[in-house]
Structure 1
Amino acid sequence: MKLILIEDEPDSLMGMKHAVESINMDMILYTAGTAESALEIIEEQQPELIVTDIMLPGMTGLDLVEYCRSESYGPKVIIVSGYNDFEYARRSLQIGAMDYLLKPYSTEDFIAKIEKTLLLIGREESLSGQMKHQQAYAEIGNRMMRDNDLIDFCFKQTPLEEHIYQRLKLWHLEWLADQAYSLFVMDTKGYPEGKPEGREYTIQTFAIGNIVQELLLEQQPSILFKDPKNRWVLLTGEESVEGLAVRIINEVKQYHKLDIALGASSRMQRFESIHDAYEEAMTAFRIHSLSAETSVFYESKDEGDYSSPEEMASILKAKDEELVQLKVHRFIRQTISVELGAGRNDRVRGILNYLSDIIVCLRKSSSKDLEEIPMSVWESLDECHTLEQYEEVVCRYLLHLSEKISSMSLNAVIERALQLISRRYMEDLSLQIIADELSLHPVWLSQLFKKETGQTYMDFLTSTRIEQAKKLLRESSLKVYEIAESVGYHDLQHFGSVFKKRVGQTPKEFRYGR
């Protein structure tokens, strides 16, 4: 607590000073002999109590107090005067003086009035502090309630009902229902599932939030809050979304030397889309968090799906290195984004399961005895920290598999296809059925078949059927329609047309050797 004594008579000032110093209270005491020096102290220190004589060189004590008072500064005042003048007393009351002491006064009386006023100041400050704490607690509680609701909006789709809109208005967030917005998810890079606990990580979270809050002073309307994993979530009506995101990334890097991951949603038009925006931004954030890239990340909706194990097995057989790399790129990103709560071990397990399924498919379609995934691949995956590292390990292993199976004669695959045709030519035997039997993609099987036999699959199947029909026409007594059905044709007219085109004669002419 601060107190200033203002008296132009040195002896009186010294007496007042000694009297105040005898009071057993915690205070800082200032003294001044002129209005000018007193004004300088008051403006700099803003004491809670001013004790001043009325008559001072330059201006009266009353004028001094009146000059110092403002909306933000209202000290308690005790006036000391040697004049028993009603006008002085009246003006003292007007400026809010607590007491009016007439000289001469007793030291005991002076001390009593000072003590009484200091105790009053102490009680008022205590009450003011309590009220400020209560107000602060109320603000914290209101903010927590607001943030909890915003988290709910992120986690589940919430219809814009009347009570929801009223809550938005209470928090000055009705703009979420009235205009387009975007959503960011932000945190330190390398922690897609959230940072560990600890002082260092708490400081990082605070530093990121501090930078974003400063930038938001220029970007309205916006609201910043944290999700349950202590990642920062920003809802903003700002149209230049990428510009804001780049500034956040750059300024956190510049001032705090932190690399942050930032995932951004597309522009949303409806309040109910906050949930979709959060999922989009979260997916992009997780990918960015594990990527070596530093630019802003958006969820890609046009990358396409990764290949199934069966399709990837076919690609490996075709030795299409570029396509392998593309499909692995898509697979790794979808593995990261499919399960938002998946941890590092789940991620590695998912990749290994995919590789194991590919090996199973390769074994089905070849006679090559492929070994299980080497331990070195497990160890390499466990050491990966970025998407690019995961891609490199998976690509390297799959291309190694591709080289290994390419040493097997392609004729063995076609031989199996030919065996299937010779056993089942009478069925409705499509290329897809053969491809499924061999665990091959039909496109790759078609290309391989033409390369090895010089015929398309359909040409070869037709030739097989017609040759068998010729044999039956010459060696059996079956009727023509029975022969047609036995070689896979259920339309006699179509059979006759195909037969004549291939043989140059109708089935009947061929049978009787015309």
Structure 2
Amino acid sequence: MYKLLIADDEALEREGLELMIRHILPDQFEFLHAENGRKAIQLAEEHRPDMVFMDIKMPGIQGLEAVRQILEKLPATQIVMITAHDYFSYAKEGLLLGVRDYLLKPARREEVAEVLRQLIAVIQEERRRRNEQLELEEKLAHLLPLAENELTLMLMLEHVQDLEPQQLAGLLDIQVSKGYAMVLSFPRPGGAAWEEFRLVRREIYEAVKQFARTGLSCLAGPLIGHQLALFIPLPPGRSGYSQRVSSLDLGERLRGYVGQRFGLPVSIGIGSIREGWDGLSRSYREAVRVCADHHDSFTVHHYDDIIQSSGQSAVSLDEEKKLLDAVLQRSKQEAIERFGRLYAYFEQGGEQPLPALRGEVTGLLLFLARSVHSVAGAEILASLNAAEDPVSLRLSAESWVERLIDSLEEEQEHNRSHVHQRALLYISQQYKEDISMEQTAEYVNLSPHYFSKLFRQHEGETFIDYVTRLRINEAKRLIAGEQLNLKEICYEVGYKDPNYFSRVFKKATGMTPSEFRQQHEKQGPC
């Protein structure tokens, strides 16, 4: 059903046009009548018709002015001008305003029918496009929270790849050059406050996201256990100190909001302002640390303030890099020694509370796992969270350092094995031709020297010996077949000189090809 507004100062014209349309397309229209331009504008704004048939010459507000005002409010409305020959110039002006078509009085049935078919086709196409747009928006509305969860988990688990976060940020329409992380830590499991938090955790999650995003672009991670992470990109142009003050103010406002609305305490940790995705991951580690340090006080703490006031210095990125280098070089002894130094720093002579110590160690292990492209982030978290004292935490962490090195060695061995299998397949396809070790090394994209070493390691023989063995075995099979002469067999297995073939064959079998054939014939049936 379509709504059609007919605007004409002559009632007979309106009724005649309605009657004609009812006969052309019965039961498809709901009709509205307007006797002047003012009434046409009022009815259009009230009923939002799909089509308007507008007479140009009417008392009061003229048809063209009514068209202009209607299209200003309802640009999708399809308007047809009705005019006499004397006002044809007005009809042309209407077309410039956005009028779809025009009819000359008296309108003929065929012309009206054709105009209506065209208008219906346009309206149906617009409705189809609108439905597709709404469906796309609905799918996007479901996709965006998933993309946000994926991106924030990458940052929390330090599993950031160069391209993926940028793609997800583009989907979320967020630009990140620098920023910081904020961690909200609610009551821990076990007490009455935890039970109260557990009952309203979903409501808290949505409320905190909405509050934080008021006038601020940020990413909200999933509520894991009793903690919620926010990643807040920052615009350029403000000093680090002023940004720190702003972040503390936001933290205080969030703490007050949660306390007032839900009656729950919350401890908030804020990391340093850092650049890029790796920087945001590090800021998250810092926020987790200070949040764990001061959880019982349920206040807001900034990592930079804690470092400055305690006289500590932040762990050098160079120290972390040296540990990573030892892991990448598969040097377990050096890696464990370097980890021990960092652990001693985190422990601060045994004065560091276990939650804070766990936060530091977890962040470091996740950094190592991400850097070696390990997918064990979730296992590392579960393992370290299960540690009940500093000793078991250290042993678990050292075990994970060794496991990460082992995984690198396994991956390297797998890659070597894969390359070796490709080489064997290539040789099996080419050994009857003029094949060389250099050609095979190039095929698997290794240097000849490294390929030769790798091949001997896997096969226990040189490349030449391996190819020779394949050729001689094939030659023995063909000789036993008795379908080819020895010269043909020589060429068939990849040799160009029968004499050379004979010498190689004798060296490998202890007899010449002729002697091998004679022996085979003697052993065969009489």
Q: TM-score range by the shorter chain?
A: 0.3 to 0.5
